[in-house]
C-alpha cells in the first residue's frame, strides 16, 4: 500500500471508494476489515486536509490586494 501522505486528492478519493466498497460488501475477514477501516479513516483525513488547504488558498487569493476584483460570469460554470 502506498504511503497516504504522498497520495494526490484523486488517488486518495479513489482508494477510499474501493475501501468503502469492500467494507460494505462484508466479504473481508475481521482482521482485514479493521485494517481497511483504519486505512479508510486515514484516506478520508488526507482528502479533508487537501480540500481544506485548497479552500484556504482560494480564500487568500480572493482577499489578496491583487486578487480578483470582480467575478467572472463563467466562474460558476463547470468545466
At 8-63, the pLDDT tens digits run: 999 999 999 999 999 999 999 999 999 999 999 999 999 999 999 999 999 998 88
> Which domains are seen in the chain, by residue range?
4-62 (1.10.287)
Mean pLDDT, range 58-71, rounded to an integer:
75
Contacts of 6 (CB under 8 A, 6+ apart): none
In angstroms, the CA 74 to CA 57 distance is 20
Tell me how far CA of residue 8 lies from CA of 46, 48, 53, 66, 68, in angstroms. Answer: 9, 12, 13, 29, 27
pTM for the model stands at 0.76
Amino acid at each position: 500500500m502506498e504511503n497516504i501522505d504522498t497520495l494526490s486528492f484523486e488517488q486518495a478519493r479513489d482508494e477510499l471508494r474501493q475501501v468503502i466498497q469492500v467494507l460494505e460488501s462484508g466479504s473481508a475477514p475481521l482482521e482485514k476489515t479493521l485494517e481497511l477501516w483504519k486505512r479508510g479513516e486515514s484516506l478520508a483525513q488526507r482528502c479533508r486536509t487537501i480540500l481544506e488547504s485548497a479552500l484556504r488558498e482560494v480564500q487568500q487569493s480572493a482577499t489578496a490586494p491583487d486578487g480578483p476584483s470582480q467575478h467572472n460570469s463563467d466562474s460558476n460554470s463547470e468545466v
